[in-house]
Amino acid sequence: MFTVKEIAQAVGGKLFGNGDIDVAAVSTDTRTIEKGTLFVAVKGERFDGNDFIAQAAEKGAAAVLSDRAEGADGYDVPVILVEDTRAAQLALARYHRNRFDVKLCGVTGSVGKTSTKDMIFAVLSSGFETLKTEGNFNNDIGLPRTLFCLNEGYGAAVIEMGMSDLGEISVLSKAACPDCAVITNIGYCHIENLKTRENILKAKLEILDGAKEGAPLILCGDDEYLKSVELADRRVIRYGFGENCDVRAENIVHLENGECFELIAQGKRYKAEVPVSGEHHVLNALAAFCVGCEFGMSAEEIVPAFMNYQASGMRQKTERYGGVTAILDCYNASPTSMKSSLSVLGGVKAEGRKIAVLGDMLELGEMSEELHAMVAEDVEKNAQVCFLYGAEMNACAKVLSQRGFEVYHSTDKPLISEKLAQFIKDGDVLLFKGSRGMRMEEIAESIKNGR
């Protein structure tokens, strides 16, 4: 992949030791070190990678990237000394990315960036050998890990970019150098740090900081903050349901296991279908259509590829627990994604009751109580019964109780799991949704094991 000298030049580091050694892989974790690996000594919350340099050398590391000057020339392995190993790894990832003529799409947004990434992957992989971000590797450690997987066999890549504060997406974009960028929406995620949705918009627009000259920005035109974005130096392409959108969907029909719709682009109509329920997946397909077109694919190639979509992780995964149907959407939660998931519950056919099992939405700061209370409206529209877990969900429970809705609330997970298990009957459909920290899948697992 690299020589040690080449790495030192790419990251602007000072080399101690032999620069002619070949490096075949990059890792920040000594547990994955094999012969020929560059070990990047990253400082985390609990560990400092610099304390494990000797261990990495013993395991066969070809070289080390370190920001600790003391003793840098005293190891039995070449050391490249830099000011910041995180920044240096991003610089190396950028260097590696630009070795290849690969069409790269960057994706961000408050909600739905992973499912949008997966839909874009479904489209692009029908026309190119395509690399995508796996799992939650969308930060300054995970994104380089994905980029280092690039090789001459790939023709396209779709890279997810996450953030919790200003400046974070900027460095990711500068490493990935997108040929086009997608922003799904501007919601309330991380408003605890950023305070306003205007700041969230500003943070998401950082995806353009490393974008190539002429790279278009693809936006959801239905979003109240994105619909007015205009750029003097780039094309803006909008997708959505509104008349203002360049690519839009009409005549949506809810199917048992998906959505059917008409896709309208450049004055032409195409019959389209996605294999998952929820209108937000139609939006994802529209975004993927825009990316496919930008990367030279035809509508006739793109539209059938929607049906290749497969969700990542615990995102709207449907399971059967005996006679009960469970929709697991436990990866994360925000007001926007909570609304979308509840609409999916509302759209399913159920022989029994539709039961929403919801956990706290975290990192909402001063707006938490207000935003949790707002969830009640969508619960009423889409469910007959609601089980709520977590201290923040008390605000939702109060509103539902006042309106006479059947609701159970607790901050005790074993207790609410027990009550839910006693309550459900064959034919019921359950939606499990909450922030990652609430681990709502544990309640689902207790139900599964009890049936």
Model pLDDT for residues 162-212, shown as the tens digit of each residue: 999 999 999 999 999 999 999 999 988 888 889 999 999 999 999 999 999
Taking the C-alpha atoms of residue 340 and residue 406, their distance in angstroms, rounded to an integer, is 21
When the pLDDT of each residue in the chain is averaged and rounded to a whole number, the result is 94
pLDDT at 104: 98
Cα dihedral across residues 121, 124, 127, 130: positive or negative = negative
Nearest to 21 by CA among 41, 42, 39, 7: 7
- Residue 314 pLDDT > 70: no
Joined tokens for residue 388:
């709520």
Nearest to 123 by CA among 110, 132, 136: 132
- Cβ atoms of 156 and 131 closer than 8 Å: yes
Residue type, 300: E
List the single range of 14-23, 50-59, 63-72, 380-389 with lowest mean pLDDT: 63-72
pLDDT at 311: 81
- Residue 332 pLDDT > 90: no
- Residue 45 pLDDT > 90: no
Taking the C-alpha atoms of residue 218 and residue 196, their distance in angstroms, rounded to an integer, is 22
pLDDT at 451: 60
Binning the chain into helix, strand and coil, the percentages to the nearest 5 are 35, 25, 40
- Cβ atoms of 10 and 97 closer than 8 Å: no
Model pLDDT for residues 356-365, shown as the tens digit of each residue: 999 999 989 9
All structural domains of the chain: 2-83 (3.40.1390.10), 100-308 (3.40.1190.10), 317-449 (3.90.190.20)
The pTM of the full predicted model, rounded to 2 decimals, is 0.85
pLDDT at 75: 81
- Residue 450 pLDDT > 80: no
pLDDT at 387: 98
Spatial CB neighbours of 99, under 8 Å, sequence gap ≥ 6: 150
Model pLDDT for residues 73-97, shown as the tens digit of each residue: 778 899 999 999 999 999 999 999 9
DSSP state of 170: H
pLDDT at 138: 95
Taking the C-alpha atoms of residue 172 and residue 163, their distance in angstroms, rounded to an integer, is 9
Assign residue 271 a region (left: φ > 0; alpha: ψ between -120 and 50; beta: otherwise): beta
Taking the C-alpha atoms of residue 372 and residue 330, their distance in angstroms, rounded to an integer, is 17
